Structure 1
Amino acid sequence: MQNKFNKITWAVAIAAVAFTSQANAGGYQINEQSVSGQGYGHAGRSSNVNDATIVFGNPAGMSFLDRAQLTAGGTYLNVNSKIRNVESERTGVVTAGGAPIGATSGPVNGTNEGDMVPGTLIPFAFYAQPVNEQLAFGFGVYAPFGSNTDYEGGFEGRNQGNYTEVRVISAQPTVSYRFNDQWAVGAGITYNRVNGELRRQVPVAIPDGLGGADITELDARVEGDDDNWGYNLGVIFQPVPETTLGLTYRSKVSYTLTGDFRATATDASLGVPEGTVVREDNASLDLTTPETVNFSVTQQMSDNLKLMAGASWTRWSRFDRILVEGENSDDPITLEPQNYSNAWAFAVGGEYQLNPQLALRAGVTIDNTPTNDATRSVRIPSDDRRIFSIGAGWTPMENLTLDVAYSYLTERGTHVDQTKTDTRELQPGVVSQVTSSYSADYKNEAHGFGAQLTYRF
């Protein structure tokens, strides 16, 4: 069971962190680094220079700001999920010397309440400082990745996974240079810190002495972290003053996660007191989150109206397998194919300057998932998304702007179908093997409420 436990929990850890590179963008990549951009669906992420959040959107854009400014804010995400058409089964067998001495089969008792994603506030802060008409510096702190699913304690799919939390915080110093009225370039270095925790209830079959078996569960948990550097590059081109084209590249980031694993008895069925740690170990994995490319165009249609369109591409084909290695084993703990696909997202939006103090915004985003039906997990049961956004910017005085936005995300109904086999040696020559399966239909939606403040110096 030792290797099985590490295999399952770390395999999910990789999946969670990797999907986390798509949190509100076709998996679990967080898009919430700008509330002004949220209002028009981030359609002009690389080309529309509104405030200091351009440090993230396109570092080249800082040189188009006329003075120093600080932008800080956050978006609160409220996710709602419904689970329907659930089927589950658990088959366990206990063998002694290879011969069966007990067996059991039946559904997993439990609940399927849904709404397993807690409400979450995603904050950010950016500062941009023009030095002269060509050169500008900036700095940002934000969350590019993040995931949290917390099912109820009696969740019917708990043998597949019942808790996932992954957090990534990035700090980004940035510089940009404007060659002339048409061209500007920029670059940023990112320091990224990853933390994660995964939990699962692992079933174990115990012979009852009558040819049958009972099922107990172990609480398996893993925690890991790492940090590493990445970078981003940007370019802005204005062929005419009314048209701005922007292109941003964000690099891959390679991690080697290391952490602690432990499995704890939930009752006394294994001959040890409840709460006893029956297995603990160290494990490590190599993980590369994929690079992304964003292109957008902003067109000033009149003095008051500008329209934006953008496309983002993520190289998810890098995530083709899960390879986990243990500290005390020469053989891989797990080697599993994933075969993810590269993913696209598309957005259109606009902004209308109603008067010198008030700007109104709206946008629509089509966000395709990199996941596939064969490997979709209860930890991240997501699919293709449509996002509808509105927003406004209010400038009561020349130096101060308050931006607010609301987004509604609706996801295509999706299906999860998972099966796991857990093996544990109860005593020398006596082995428990339990195969658990869980399938269900998921329907997810989310509401995002954002607010940010920009102060110009």
Structure 2
Amino acid sequence: MKKAMLKTTLGFTACLASSHLLASGFALNEQSISGMGSAFAGRASSAEDASTVSGNPAGMAFIKREQINLGAAAIFAKTDIHDGRGTFGGSNDGDMVPAIAVPMGYYVKPLNEQWTFGLGVYAPFGLLTDYEGGFAGRYWADKSEVKVVTVQPTISYAFNDRVSIGFGPTFNRIEGELSSRTLNAASPGLNDGKVTIQGDDTAVGFNVGLMIQATDSTRVGLAYRSKVDYKLTGKTKVEGPGFSVFSGQKYKASLDIETPESAELSITHKLDDQWTLYAGSTFTRWSRLESLNVINSGVPAQLGGAAGPVGRISEVQEWRDTWYHAIGAAYKVNNQWTLRTGLAMDQSPVSNSHRSPRIPTGDRKIFSLGAAYSPTDDITIDFAYLYLREDEAKIRDASATKGAYSADFRNSAHTLGTSLTYKF
């Protein structure tokens, strides 16, 4: 019983510290459909529409008309698992990421020639993985879901027609839920128990940026998103064989976790009236995630109490800092249509020594296509498609409480997005 609770709590920490296919770590890139069309190259310097609230708040100074931007992206992920083997047998279907929708909305209003107000609602982090019930690695990973929603009121100030700054506090709501399987020591591989853990918190950060129109053709942007410190609180529920009289009981759980800060530098260069080029790099400080500590209160003495191995759990992560590099281009066909494309390289923060079925990610390559259609001067509809493919991720895990699991994961994803911009 003690081993079951220990394994489950560590699973919860892995749930909140990992992701699958969406972006580096458990970050999401899908906050702008116009940016998605060029693989998010130039995200901090383009200021194409109101979505610059999240990409670089200083870009609002370059938006001259009040506007609203509403959009959503749908992510369709696929995993092929090769040579999957678990101590207690099971399947390796790999279809553990359901289709995921990522909505977004922005509003920008110029107040005068210098000041601009904006508001954004978007999802900067998130994950959803759900393995089949008989998955061979079920003691290492089962179901994980984390959602982070950010509300960002923002202000920008233009020093002149070439230099602007922007700032916005971010109010972030995180919710996490995990259902995991536990090994029944009396019948290994049979009659698994089940543990469901839920937690949530609200915390504050900020988003700040600088944008410079260096020449008539070249614009440079620098954006910084702060780390956010969360203190999740929730419940741990145990049920099923292996938990005896404790089946159905709930215990208070708490976890401190930081989402990392990031800094992005990008350039937008207009070659002529038709061609525009983009380039950008983003640094994310995932190395902050060295370890995770979970505290369970109300744990009975039979499980060690508050001071026992169940009451306080520590798990080493040792994630590493990452870089995201992207280039892109846009071609203006006419006054109504603009076409976009982009390429990107995105590093995974997960080290080989800490990779598990809950974190089966490798470095990724990204290709994107996009289009903007403006039937009138007041309306623009953006479309984007993004294809992502990861390097093969090898998993070789073994534990006395979970058995062994080994497999080679080959991950890919298709993302479709659309947004509507209306100018008042």
Question: Does 1:374 pair with 2:353?
Answer: yes
CA contact (8 A) 1:306 1:351 kept: yes
Compute the displacement of 1:405 (Å): 0.6
The CA distance in 2 between the partners of 1:324 and 1:180, in whole Å, is 50
Query: Are 2:97 and 1:117 equivalent residues in the alignment?
Result: yes
Query: How far 1:455 sits from its partner (Å)?
Result: 0.1
1 CA distance for matches of 2:290 and 2:44? 29
DSSP 3-state at the match of 2:362: coil
Equivalent residue number for residue 100 of structure 1: none
SS at match of 2:98: coil
Measured in 2, the distance between the counterparts of 1:74 and 1:297 equals: 25
CA contact (8 A) 1:369 1:382 kept: yes
The structure with more radius of gyration: 1
3-state DSSP class of the match of 1:401?
Answer: strand
Tell me if structure 1 keeps the 8 A contact 2:89–2:189: no
Structure 1 distance, partners of 2:189, 2:392, is: 35
CA distance in 2 between counterparts of 1:200 and 1:420 reads 16
**Which residue of the partner structure matches residue 425 of structure 1?**
none
Among 379, 386, 398, the alignment partner of 2:377 is: 398
Cα distance in 1 for residues equivalent to 2:248 and 2:162? 65
State the distance in 2 between where 1:24 and 1:278 align: 34
Tell me which protein shows more strand as a share of its residues. Answer: 1
Aligned to 1:15: 14
State, as a whole percentage, how many aligned pairs show the same letter: 40
1:270/1:8 CA distance change after superposition, 3 Å: closer
Following the alignment from structure 1 to structure 2, what is the Cα–Cα distance between the partners of residues 24 and 409?
9
* In 2, Cα distance between equivalents of 1:123 and 1:271: 43
Structure-1 separation of matches of 2:79 and 2:259: 26
Which residue is 1:210 aligned to?
Answer: none
Distance 2:338 2:215 in 1: 23
Structure 1 residues 185 and 392 mapped into 2: Cα distance closer, same or farther (>3 Å)? same
Aligned to 1:349: 328
Task: Give the structure-1-normalised TM-score.
Answer: 0.87
Q: The residue matched to 1:303 in structure 2 has which SS?
A: coil
Give the residue type in structure 2 aligned to 1:175: I
Whether 2:201 is the aligned partner of 1:226: answer yes
1:414 to 393, 396, 405: 393
Tell me what 2:280 maps to.
Answer: 310
The alpha-carbon deviation at position 182 of structure 1 amounts to 1.9
2-structure distance, mates of 1:110, 1:23: 23
Aligned-pair RMSD on alpha carbons? 1.8
For residue 271 of structure 1, report the CA deviation from its aligned partner: 6.6
Q: What CA distance in whole angstroms lies between the structure 2 residues aligned with 1:123 and 1:406?
A: 15
Of the three residues 169, 174, 195, the one matched with 1:194 is 174
Aligned to 1:180: 160
Over residues 142-168 of structure 1, what are the superposed CA-to-partner deviations in whole Å (9 max), with x where a residue is unaligned?
111110111111111111121011111
- Shift of the 23–252 alpha-carbon distance from structure 1 to 2, 3 Å rule, reads farther
- CA 1:307–1:388: 2 relative to 1, 3 Å: same
Cα distance 1:214–1:248, how it changes in 2: closer, same or farther (>3 A)? closer
Q: How many aligned residue pairs are there?
A: 415
> Whole-Å Cα distance in 2 between the matches of residues 19 and 214 of structure 1?
26
Q: Distance in 1 between matches of 2:230 and 2:106?
A: 25
Q: Deviations over 1:23-62 (max 9, x none)?
A: 6322331111111110001001000011100001000000
Structure 2: unaligned runs, 5 residues or longer: 299-305
Q: Please, which of 310, 314, 330 is the counterpart of residue 307 of structure 2?
A: 330
State how 1:37-48 maps to structure 2 within 5 Å. 37-48=35-46
Aligned partner of 1:241 in structure 2 is 216
- SS in structure 2 opposite 1:172? strand
Matched, 1:436 2:394: no
Once residues 55 and 298 of structure 1 are traced to their aligned partners in structure 2, the CA distance between those partners, rounded to angstroms, is: 17
Deviations, residues 72-91 of structure 1 (Å, cap 9, x unaligned): 011110001111111221xx
Q: Find out whether 1:384 has 2:384 as its counterpart.
A: no
The equivalent of 1:300 in structure 2 is 270
**Equivalent residue, structure 1, for 2:72:** 74
Is the Cα contact below 8 Å between 2:127 and 2:145 reproduced in 1?
Answer: yes
Q: How many Å apart are 1:270 and its aligned residue?
A: 7.1
Q: CA deviation at 1:13?
A: 2.8
Measure, in 1, the Cα distance between the counterparts of 2:208 and 2:266.
Answer: 14
CA distance, structure 1, for counterparts of residue 250 and residue 353 of structure 2: 30
Within 2, Cα distance between the matches of 1:151 and 1:204?
Answer: 19
Structure 2 counterpart of 1:445, from 387, 398, 412: 412
Q: CA deviation at 1:279?
A: 4.6
State the Cα distance separating 1:438 from its structure 2 match: 1.0
**Distance of 2:162 and 2:235 partners within structure 1:** 52
Counterpart of 1:44 in 2: which secondary structure?
A: coil
1:359 Cα deviation from its structure 2 partner = 0.3
CA deviation vs aligned residue, 1:392-421 (integer Å, no higher than 9, x gap) = 000000100000010110111111223344
| Separation in 2, partners of 1:63, 1:316 | 31
2:266 corresponds to 1:289: no
Q: Is 1:6–1:261's contact at 8 Å kept on the other side of the alignment?
A: no
TM-score, normalising length from structure 2? 0.94
Counterpart CA distance in 2 for 1:414 and 1:232 is 33
C-alpha distance in 2, partners of 1:128/1:7?
A: 48
| Deviation of the 1:110 alpha carbon | 1.4
Against the structure 1 CA distance between its residues 28 and 262, is the aligned structure 2 distance closer, same or farther, given a 3 Å change threshold? same
Map Cα deviations across residues 217-252 of structure 1 (whole Å, 9 max, x no partner): 211121111110110110001121211000000000
Cα distance between partner residues in 1 of 2:287 and 2:331: 39
The SS at the match of 1:118 is: coil
Q: Quick check: 1:454 aligned with 2:421? A: yes
